[in-house]
Structure 1
């Protein structure tokens, strides 16, 4: 019984320790209830007294001649201590429960007051700290001369696969992607406000996904002029509790749908336009919601138009931007050569990340099934169905790099988890096709499947520009190129075989390699003391361990992928 109570106590003490940092934790409530600090001290004293009592009993046992009678008295004393402890614990928890609701309400009010004070100070800066900035020219996405696919000549007799290792002279340059950090959060918790029995809602869609937030007629506003004072005045209004429910609902949608920063940015755009229509008012509402959600945001003015700029730790290719401090800021929904920008930061703001550490939970609309078959292994025949609503998100996702390294572009596509619906259908079917096979036998089937089930075509011819695919897109669109195939195959190998993979970037070509735990021979690269065997899904008909002819190994780089 005491073990359960101690467990409960530890949870309570953790809450108390956090709560005690608040200013009101040092005061007694007006109705005479004990403060949190007093409750904590009460229980500390109780623990000390209990420990001292047990220590005295232990000393008595060791120093006095033991008799049955005296041992019985000791046991009775221990029982009395335990009963007293139970009563003291019950008293403590009763005081805590009686005090906690009042304390929690007071603490929430302190949080709200703190956030209001910060927003009032920020609004004052909005009246002063604006400066003209010139836009920086877009950083173009690197363009390389495409290397055409190679079809390996097929002889009458099956060609033997490599029997020896051949270590390729690839530089040991390993490109890694930083781990995804927790998403930004408001500077203080957002307290919902009571809205009566019939709150007003606004419905909208983002990437085909139905959403709803609380926003009523009383929250609508007009921006009378695009100038510093008008913007500051409305910022003060937006910072009142009246807009808490709108912000709370947006953050809840981000959690419910597991939206990444890029998807959340679009959610706020769609929500703001649904609330206020397209124009400066919606831009201001979006800027406020984005800022209060914890993100780096700046506002700019040009030609009687308000711009919202989002700060990013990534370089977004082919987009003009503004450099403010050590961060890139990109205008959302438009461009301007010059902007008057308020460069004052908001406390604890964080930049947008383009990483996709978890599946995006869009509403689901199944595509028509697509039949895909391996040429060399006809029994590897599966159907692929994707979520059509996710395709608009993928199309909006801008190519980018992190740490000024262009190779990180492909890793961000390859590291996105396979959507659950595809894992349960297409991937489950593929797993059945390779069940019971060795790593090499399974890999030969996966490799030939990607080599031969898809039609190769250049991005420029299909899209008019270079565009990488997420794995789900490759399963949907009729054409794909080398990078799309390597991204898909690397995802399949990690999920189906549980093996580590790297992408190999040659000038004009992207292949991949696998770290087998079985003894698999062939062309390989050594990275950090580990062997990765080449598997090229664009070298049509090639075996595991065969490099496509004409590759420049001296300039190749390895991109280490997350193994999940």
Structure 2
């Protein structure tokens, strides 16, 4: 009997386990059918995208083949109208002024909870290349590693790329727009979607901003075309960054090819070309070349290009080796008491930011200290100011920044203008007015919890602090309805409210730090 009469009722039942068995036996077929449908849909989507991409590549190549225009260079603007002073003054004793307003002596510890981070644990970087078949299919590839600061990043790329040109082909023949269009035609025929997808995965793992991503792509381009002419490396950089959606251009003269970047902010002391109404900066990623007075370049852009280079530093990159730390002791005196502040500096960040573009000040003002620096410096500074009033705490931090560092201009220290993030100011032997202002603003905001603005003079940068009460005396400026008291981290021994004598009659530009 094919059915069971469990209770002798005359009714016959199909066993439950058999129903389950038959149901389960159908699942593989159903899943297989679903997989087949999904694979078909996926392949259709990929084919449509490829057709879409090919169309734009074809249009772009046709545009590149047309006559390029010669464009003259624009000199990059200087942040300061005049050269910064070689020496800095010491402040005279602050005159005693009777202040009848009630003093707010509420200690800092009751206003802000200062978070001293634990010693940072190393964040292991686990970047694995997906199986070759899932990225490139049957295309022959080569595996390699990129040494990105302290991280070793595995990469894979089609071997066809190195077969497109001989190592010295670009240096032996004249470079013009026809050859550049030919380059794009050749390279775009190789599927780069896996490379862009994987580089974005690496970017996310390393917490890179746009600048860090550009450096990653440059390292990859140099690795693929190791031993080849640098012109080819620049062209491949241009191709990859375009594929990634960035507004970059290529230009050439009789000697070289140049990558041009559209950037969200002004980039000071950097030459640029005006193309289609936008500024494109010459940011050399490989070697210190002379920027030509004019280049040949094209008008228009690839359809995939939609974003400018954003230099904002929202978080520091994860560069791998957290043990790459250098120690230094900073010493100063305040109210006849000596202080010794040991600091631990992340050397990876120093290397990473060495040639960071000289962009708008808020980008640097919003950069914090590394976790290792915070722990070492906050452990000493936070307890020292915990029982001080706001004014006394700010004066304490002023004296620290004014006197714990030796002064030297960027031109004298680096032979170029350079803004330093707080970590760099702790590391380098010298600092100037903008570096000290950036560090001081960071410390006041983090340790005292007060708002700070920058004060930009013709050849000097200072800061001003907004106190919670109205009882702090001295020179002041108003911004967005708030009163800010001058606090100059470069004016040696100056207290809150004191402006350098030579800038007493100069109205500064107020720089918002947000």
For the superposition of Structure 1 and Structure 2, which TM-score range results when normalised by the shorter chain? 0.7 to 0.9
Q: Give the deviation of 1:516 after TM superposition.
A: 1.9
The equivalences for 1:285-304 within 5 A come to 285-303=236-254
Q: Is the 8 A contact 1:140 1:317 kept in 2?
A: yes
Cα distance in 2 between the residues matched to 1:550 and 1:330: 35
Q: Is the 8 A contact 1:439 1:518 kept in 2?
A: no
Match of 2:402 among 451, 460, 467: 451
Could you report, residue by residue, the CA deviation over 1:132-162 in whole angstroms, capped at 9, with x for unpaired residues? 223334445535254543323469xxx8687
Cα 1:344/1:146, change in 2 over 3 Å: closer
The equivalences for 1:376-391 within 5 A come to 376=334, 378=337, 380-391=339-350
Match of 1:373 among 318, 331, 342: 331
The equivalences for 1:75-154 within 5 A come to 103=41, 106-140=44-78, 142-147=80-85, 148-153=87-92
1:422 maps to which residue? 373
Cα 1:316/1:544, change in 2 over 3 Å: closer
Q: Is the 8 A contact 1:386 1:476 kept in 2?
A: yes
Aligned residues: 432
2:311 maps to which residue? 354
Q: Is the 8 A contact 1:366 1:385 kept in 2?
A: no
Q: Give the deviation of 1:264 after TM superposition.
A: 2.5
- Whether 1:219 aligns to 2:167 is no
1:535 maps to which residue? 487
Cα 1:124/1:427, change in 2 over 3 Å: farther
Q: Is the 8 A contact 1:455 1:480 kept in 2?
A: yes
Cα 1:550/1:341, change in 2 over 3 Å: closer
1:264 maps to which residue? 213
Q: Is the 8 A contact 1:161 1:543 kept in 2?
A: no
1:544 maps to which residue? 496
Could you report, residue by residue, the CA deviation over 1:200-255 in whole angstroms, capped at 9, with x for unpaired residues? 32322345554332224233221755344443343234334532222223233333
Higher helix share: 1
2:503 is paired with a residue whose SS is coil
TM-score with structure 2 length normalisation? 0.74
**Stretch moving more, 529-538 or 460-469:** 460-469
Match of 1:471 among 410, 415, 422: 422
Q: Is the 8 A contact 1:312 1:329 kept in 2?
A: yes
Q: Is the 8 A contact 1:506 1:552 kept in 2?
A: no
2:183 maps to which residue? 234
- Whether 1:274 aligns to 2:223 is yes
2:317 is paired with a residue whose SS is coil
Match of 1:327 among 278, 287, 295: 278
Cα 1:372/1:549, change in 2 over 3 Å: same
Cα distance in 1 between the residues matched to 2:388 and 2:79: 41
Cα distance in 1 between the residues matched to 2:274 and 2:483: 42
2:456 is paired with a residue whose SS is strand
1:205 is paired with a residue whose SS is strand
Cα distance in 1 between the residues matched to 2:97 and 2:39: 71
Q: Is the 8 A contact 1:123 1:235 kept in 2?
A: yes
1:259 is paired with a residue whose SS is coil
Cα distance in 1 between the residues matched to 2:165 and 2:396: 62
Q: Give the deviation of 1:276 after TM superposition.
A: 0.6
Could you report, residue by residue, the CA deviation over 1:405-452 in whole angstroms, capped at 9, with x for unpaired residues? xxxx43332122333332333235433333354323322322221122
- RMSD after superposition: 3.3
**Stretch moving more, 495-504 or 315-324:** 315-324
- Whether 1:338 aligns to 2:298 is no
Q: Is the 8 A contact 2:269 2:417 kept in 1?
A: no
1:511 is paired with a residue whose SS is strand
Match of 2:509 among 553, 557, 563: 557
Cα 1:463/1:255, change in 2 over 3 Å: same
TM-score with structure 1 length normalisation? 0.68
Cα distance in 1 between the residues matched to 2:56 and 2:273: 25
Match of 1:498 among 409, 428, 449: 449
